[in-house]
Structure 1
């Protein structure tokens, strides 16, 4: 019976005064949120440079502070402010926060593991669950990847638990690029292979201390050639692939070598193969 009375005193008795107080706090909080968001947005749209973005960043922070203040005022109205009640409330709140932030904690632990195992470092070109780019920063919770389209993507470290991490250069300066050519089957394969090797050998972006490999693979619709070579700097990979594609296409066209006519299913497979490479393969 005594236990029941303790639990019954967890909440205060509600009367008209308490309801009016709750309503007033909620109304004031809603009004403050609306005015702060509209006011800050109005100010930010009339500013320029970094100051504009800093004002925009204050919008969610201001809303959060208003909600926390409103909650701090509401809790004593609803719950009797005794030590036992506060311990019970904080325990339930801690459990809810812990459950909600389990992924955040997992990312922090994975960040410690990544600092030891080094699956990626700043300067590495990585592919994590379809996000390909250069690692710019390795934080406690996320790794920042700058994509070739100049987007900065924050990927949580917890991806290392269940996804493969593709590292193209692994802390070094050697990054293999793949350039693809799809040719009609009627051609002199030996000459084409040598010509494509010469195209790579004469590129201004070529790293000469790494091998140049030209691979030929026969397909039902033609022959698939791939030039595997390395640029001087990993950041030059797309310029390198473009250079090989443009000059290789010109050499083959001048020699009368025709490109293959890919059926729809073969074109889809070719795109999938190109997308699986670290450096997105160009095609001819």
Structure 2
């Protein structure tokens, strides 16, 4: 954001803070000098409360501008984090105002409202769970706006909004998915965009036992390196995963630029592997059946004529 835009966002909070502090400092002198019939104590309380809230307003704007500048250089800062800071500042201003107004009777007022808060908390416990989970996610920042994530191997998509109660994702099929924050907090989250957007994945290929491992590795690696959509470095490699009855299973590993290209990269690699397997005449695994000369059980009755 430009300096002019930042100044505009902080102009009104700054003016409100200056005016409220000035009124709080000089209100008694002005009332005495002008002989106004105004309650100086009430005016002082109003000016003091206004100063607290104006300071919270200005502090929230300044923190928001600082976080936006940090997000411009790195990853975008979640909107929830900015709102959380503002709420915390306004809560502090509210507490300070209550102390200013009630003074020593603050503890009595809080004790009297304890039962009401307990009943209200029980009634909206699910909402509170989502909100508290959203606060925890905003502080820990396991993902940010624009990240591609997978939640509990069930939902994959790009984060488009992080709210107080829900997180919203847009899948690769342009499906809009809304998940409660409390559900996300209880499940495993895989972030494909952090700390870097590129990552390594693999596809598995099963070839016949008659194909030598060294030959299979060379052919599969050369084929996987042909697509231009994958990252050129590090180069693709091949590992033997298992030696099974049906054949030898290989893992062809390669690097993709980002999760958005994952499916296209897999398609390109598998397509080039298919061409190479056919060109070199590599036999796919075949199911072999062994037929016994006498397949009847010893005590089995003869088949009817």
Q: CA deviation at 1:125?
A: 2.2
**What is the CA–CA distance in structure 2 between the aligned matches of 1:153 and 1:107, rounded to whole Å?**
16
Larger RCO (alpha carbons 8 Å, 6+ apart): 1
Q: Helix, strand or coil: the match of 1:214?
A: strand
Query: Is the aligned partner of 1:227 residue 2:252?
Result: yes
Give every structure 1 segment of 4 or more consecutive aligned residues whose post-TM-superposition deviation is greater than 4 Å. Answer: 91-97
Q: Is the 8 A contact 1:121 1:171 kept in 2?
A: no
From 142, 155, 161, the equivalent of 1:119 is: 142
Alignment of 1:226-245 (within 5 A): 226-245=251-270
Alignment of 1:92-171 (within 5 A): 98-129=121-152, 130-171=154-195
TM-score normalised according to structure 1 size: 0.54
Which of the pair has more CA radius of gyration?
Answer: 2
Alignment of 1:73-88 (within 5 A): none
Q: Is the 8 A contact 1:184 1:261 kept in 2?
A: yes
Question: What do residues 187-239 of structure 1 show as CA deviations (whole Å, max 9, x unaligned)?
Answer: 12212212221222221112123353322122232122122211233311111
Match in the other structure for 1:5? none
Q: Helix, strand or coil: the match of 2:240?
A: strand
Equivalences, count: 174
Q: Helix, strand or coil: the match of 1:230?
A: strand
From 174, 199, 213, the equivalent of 1:189 is: 213
From 275, 279, 298, the equivalent of 1:250 is: 275
Q: Is the 8 A contact 1:213 1:227 kept in 2?
A: yes
Q: CA deviation at 1:139?
A: 2.1
Q: Is the 8 A contact 2:225 2:235 kept in 1?
A: no
Q: Helix, strand or coil: the match of 1:209?
A: coil
Distance 1:225 1:102, change over 3 A: same
CA RMSD of aligned residues (A): 2.8
What are structure 1's unaligned runs of at least 5 residues?
Answer: 1-90, 264-284
What are structure 2's unaligned runs of at least 5 residues?
Answer: 1-113, 289-305
Greater CA deviation, 155-164 or 246-255? Answer: 155-164
Q: Is the 8 A contact 2:201 2:253 kept in 1?
A: yes
